[in-house]
Copies of this chain bind each other. A is one copy, B any other.
């Protein structure tokens, strides 16, 4: 069974009640329910997406850390903070890029190992790693500046760089990473790749701009929300997936599938993030940080709830940091299908991401097959995660 069919089946079986739908997903995660993959069980441990490219991830982290420390020794702790191995939740983007590179490398006749020498193969892989590094630099730079813009106190559960080291060093660190990303990008000497990564950076800034400057009407629009979500979360991974496809010499249709995988994966990831802002790990509303709600950022669960209960507008429009307001909003959200519909939307995008992988040109190469299985696995992991 294709994974895309499987996740559609999950969506179809999802109960209508928002809380139980969340619990349903969590219980399947807790009790180890895993969708059946095309590969046999004995291969499973080798197909863990992160361990498949673990050595390269370590190498990339080390390179980025060394670069920052060599440039600005004062940023050593910041570099360790962001590019340290094993810190939860930050390896997804480079992991996806490296897996996509493996998934695509063998599909073009002109790049088959028979034609390419080892040096050329290594050079191609080095260039694709470079995309992963550039993406990490842009990603971390945007996180650092966003934390300053949002006055964030924490990031990934620990103090944000701006709160720990001050806004000045945070701005400088962000600028440093962007400028080094641009130098690395220029070194690839590939005009289409430069365009893709430039677009990704533009989208990131546009996303933050939309969040900072949107009118109440725009904040209540699902279309604006999806556009902002694409800009802030999906544009970087989608464009970098397409970039590795270009570097592999893939034709446009294959590059577009790589882009679609990244786009849908990014959207699904953020939709689940928005649910977790309400439920946290407990699957109970209001047990999590409610960071977005308290900052007046309206996300998918509330947008869906507002469709059912238009009276929610009034509470959202007034100060949403008021505890009484928060309680009312959560009460409406609990009565609505907001969490459930957001979950369904996330599952839909995860399945579209998996479908893009299913649509890649057939391969009999073991590494490429494993990488594709791992990419599909990631679409399931992000749906069932609880942090």
Contacts and interface: CB of A to CB of B under 8 A. Distances in A.
Interface string A174-216: 1110111011011101110011011101101110110011000
Nearest to A203: B179
Interface string A139-183: 000000100110000000000000000011101101110111011
Contact of A206 (B71, B145, B187): B71
Contact of A182 (B175, B198, B208): B198
Copies in the complex: 2
A172 B205 contact: yes
For the residues of A in contact with B, the DSSP-based class is: helix
A123 interface: no
A171 B141 CA distance: 12
A59 interface: no
A221 B321 CA distance: 52
A351 B183 CA distance: 32
Contacts of A191: 186, 189-191, 194
A72 interface: yes
A202 B189 contact: no
A74 interface: yes
Interface in A46-75: 71-74
A172 B202 contact: no
Contacts of A74: 212-213
Contacts of A187: 195
Contacts of A171: 145, 148-149, 171
A213 B172 CA distance: 11
A186 B175 contact: no
Interface of A: 71-74, 145, 148-149, 167-169, 171-172, 174-176, 178-180, 182-183, 185-187, 189-191, 194-195, 197-199, 201-202, 204-206, 208-209, 212-213
